[in-house]
Amino acid sequence: MEHATRWHWPEYGIEAFSLGLFMVSACLFTALMEHPASPLHQVITGELARRGIIGLAMGGTAIGLIYSPWGKRSGAHMNPSVTLTFWRLGKITPDDALLYIAFQFLGGWLGVVFSALVLRSAIADPAVAYAVTVPGPMGAAVAWWAELGISFLLMMVILVASNNARYAAWTGLFAGLLIALYVLFEAPLSGMSMNPARTVSSALPAQVWDHLWIYFTAPPLGMLLAGELYRLWDRRVVCAKLVHDSRFRCIFCEHPQEFLSHLRRERRPDATTALASARVSMAEGR
């Protein structure tokens, strides 16, 4: 890992831009699907169907950002919980982690502010409510455990996939699919956040602070727990990027080839074949 001797402002800016764009997607599709005056809301009467479309939009946005040149540059954390976990695993310096988190909060908030300028009064409608995340009818305890569970699973999938030669190139797709499924099935329990910056970004303009502690405790704890369990398997975490492409600067790995070197050392029967596949995927930017 590179021990930073300078600030990595491009990466910080990308983190802000990425979460900001994700929040624009969340606000826009929530308004399109849930505002009573929206034609789509009137045509698609099933709540589950509308939530499925929102999930596909948000999951697709996440996938696009992760595989974009920006996401391949910063690592596409877009979440303080993800950044904290990689810091705990020793893959990001404290200074970089602190600024990643600060810019994630800033970018998410700016994304909601921009959405408010575009959607105007529609975003403040109670059915949209700035896409806030609040506990569902089953209460705060259920919401907390739900946030813990989905955060744990997402981080475990990221760690397992990104450090496996066969699945590394698919990490972003796995993460996006989980987000889509979470919106569809888990959102009624907690609003589906997994992300303190995402929750605060909506809470600030909406002035909705219901059970904010849930989203500041359960997601980081769930992801940190995933990181600790992964370490118990005695497996090395190579990089803090969700998708590592050697064509883009990496502030986490000292040399771009460190990632491939790690995959080469994996003790698996098909390691040679998997390594060749990973090289092709990264060279083509998949």
Q: What is the pLDDT of residues 60-72, one digit of tens each?
A: 999 999 999 999 9
Contact indicator for 77, 15 with CB cutoff of 8 Å: yes
* Amino acid identity at 158: I
Does residue 4 form part of some domain?
no
Q: How far apart are CA 254 and CA 185, in angstroms?
A: 40
Q: How far apart are CA 190 and CA 142, in angstroms?
A: 8
In the chain, which stretches have pLDDT less than 70?
1-5, 234, 254-286
Please give the residue range of the domain that contains residue 65. Answer: 9-284
Q: How far apart are CA 167 and CA 274, in angstroms?
A: 9
Please report how many Cα atoms fall inside a 13 Å half-sphere around the Cα of residue 167, on the Cβ side.
13
Q: Which strand (E) or helix (H) includes residue 28?
A: helix 9-34
* Residue 76: alpha-carbon gap to chain centroid: 7
Does residue 151 form part of some domain?
yes
Q: How far apart are CA 124 and CA 118, in angstroms?
A: 12
Residue 92 token pair: 């990001």
pLDDT at 48: 96
pLDDT at 235: 72
Contact indicator for 73, 11 with CB cutoff of 8 Å: yes
pLDDT digits 0-9 by tens, 109-168: 999 999 999 999 999 999 999 999 999 999 999 999 999 999 999 999 999 999 998 999
Does residue 124 form part of some domain?
yes
Does residue 69 form part of some domain?
yes
Q: Which strand (E) or helix (H) includes residue 145?
A: helix 140-162
Q: How far apart are CA 51 and CA 30, in angstroms?
A: 8
With 0-12 CB in 10 A as exposed, 13-18 as middle and 19+ as buried, what is 44? middle
Does residue 3 form part of some domain?
no
Does residue 117 form part of some domain?
yes
* Amino acid identity at 96: D
pLDDT at 281: 45
Does residue 113 form part of some domain?
yes
Mention every residue, 6+ apart, whose C-beta is less than 8 A from residue 98.
Answer: none
CATH of the domain at 18: 1.20.1080.10
Q: How would DSSP label each residue in 205-265? A: HHT--TTHHHHHHHHHHHHHHHHHHHHHTT-----S-SS--TTS--SSSSSTTHHHHHHHH
Q: How far apart are CA 58 and CA 65, in angstroms?
A: 11
Does residue 65 form part of some domain?
yes
Number of domains in the chain: 1
